[in-house]
Chain A
Amino acid sequence: MIPEKEQFEEMCAAYALGALDPEEQAIFDEALSSGGEEFNKIFRESVGVSYFINSGAKRVAPLPIVKSKLLRKIQEKNPSSFSPAIAFERLALALGFGSPRFGFVVALLMVVVAAEIGIYAYLINTELDQSELQLAAVESLLSEQQQRLIALTSDLQMKEEVLNVLQSPKIEMVIMNGQEANPAGYGKIIWDPVRKLAILQVSKLPAVPADKDYQLWYLDKQKKPVSAGVFTVAEQNEQFFRVSTIPIPDSKKDISAFAVTIEPKGGVPQPTGAMYLMGTPSIPN
């Protein structure tokens, strides 16, 4: 049964406002489909009024992230239909571009970036401090190694010199023994009369005080002591080599003995201190 126009207007008004009771819905649908242009016009106007009721409402804008989520949902449903432009728009919306929150988001990002820079600077500073400590340790180690290298180089050079002397076709050698002041002491003089190089080797001599030196002497044919130079020993039992152009005679025939005494720093013209080593050349018959 088709309702009267007034009844249809009531149903249209209720329908447009979503207030139509369920039991009236079927009657309304039938009236709308068979009511002709007049009913259609009433329907369109009523629906239009409901739209205008919405239009008069206060507006509230959704957050940009809502659109971003929507596009993501749609993409999940139809992944093949999405373009890079839509993906970029989604990203921009997710970042808050184009919204009143943009300024806040930018400010927040700046705070986060500033905090990260601060933390990074602190970490860098801490790392720098640690690096400086490590560098100092490495420098100390390097210095130590350099000293060690210098010592080894010096030792190597000395041994090369010793080897060089020992390889000479003609060498002379005199053994010195420990004396009353230091019976355990031991010494050796080896020299190359051609090149006038000499090696002094001592062992188990006590370290000398800071104001003292050991002094090497040789006694000439008249048994007059002649200074052959001074040397120091820093540690007891140290094996000491000294290679130099010691002013000693070319042949041990001109030498009656070698001796080592302890003397004031820098040496003296004539021996004054205790004798630590002494030896005489063995003259072959």
Chain B
Amino acid sequence: MLFSIVPDDHSQRDIALLEKISKKDPSALSDLYDRHSILLYSIIVRILKEKTEAEDILQEVFVNIWENAEQYDHQLGNPGAWLCRIARNRAVDRLRSKNFRSRAQESDIENFSELFAADYLDHPDQRAMLSGQQEEILIALTSLSNEQKELIEFAYFRGYTQSEMAKHFNLPLGTVKTRIRTAMSILRQKLRHHFA
């Protein structure tokens, strides 16, 4: 099942919830969990590829939010993006841990289209499940080259730095940086009207 991205009025609601959480209101945390847990859990599962570990990380993320909600700065993006960053960073930290990384490397990693649900675009019944915004995002993602998609995948979901990717793909660091910048620029242009 897919869900739409969080619009601005929802961001306002999230900001209000974070303010309540900073005052230790558990019902606000419960609401925030209901609004974002599926997305955050999906990101963590994508990174770790193991649901039990992902559940632990999801709990850690919300405990972190409970303890540090006042650190949210709306100048640095909407609350949803902040939450995603916390979840992604926590999951990558776990992925980078010695024990877990060895296990993750043994698993069969999915291909890009499966990771991004882009294959939904090829099936009318599944495509009908997508929201307009989500369909737009998927179309934007599929407009990237395979090399660009691969770098985004390795960077965001596997925790590679640009230097590590350069080494991994045996590419000049500058090439990696250029490809990533170009890919992100394409996406920014296609999705710019959402940031107005």
Contact = CB atoms under 8 A, between A and B. Distances in A.
Contacts of A73: 59, 63
Give the dominant DSSP class at B's interface: helix
A70 B77 contact: no
Contacts of A56: 116-118, 134, 137-138, 141
A107 interface: no
Q: Which of B63, B114, B181 has the most CB of A within 10 A?
A: B181
B184 A55 contact: no
B163 interface: yes
Given A9-B181, A50-B156, A63-B55, A19 B162 contact: yes
A67 B62 CA distance: 10
B3 A10 contact: no
B166 to A, nearest CB: 10
Given A10-B180, A62-B41, A86 B30 contact: yes
B85 A50 contact: yes
Contacts, number: 189
Interface string B1-18: 111110000000000000
Nearest to B173: A21
Nearest to A22: B161
Interface string A61-82: 1110011011101110110011
Interface stretch (A40-48, A227-235, A243-251): A40-48
A138 B162 CA distance: 90
Size band of the interface chain A makes with B:
35 or more
A18 interface: yes
A122 interface: no
A54 B39 contact: yes
Interface string A145-160: 0000000000000000
A13 interface: yes
Nearest to A32: B76
Contacts of B84: 50-51, 54
B155 interface: yes
Given A56-B141, A60-B51, A78-B24, A66 B58 contact: yes
18 contacts: A6-B181, A12-B184, A14-B161, A18-B92, A18-B159, A19-B162, A21-B161, A47-B77, A48-B77, A54-B39, A57-B46, A61-B38, A62-B37, A62-B58, A66-B41, A67-B30, A67-B37, A86-B27
Interface of A: 6, 9-10, 12-14, 16-22, 40, 43-63, 66-67, 69-71, 73-75, 77-78, 81-83, 85-86, 89
Q: What are the 7 A-B residue pairs with the smallest beta carbon separation, nearest first?
A: A19-B155, A13-B184, A17-B155, A51-B81, A47-B77, A55-B5, A62-B41
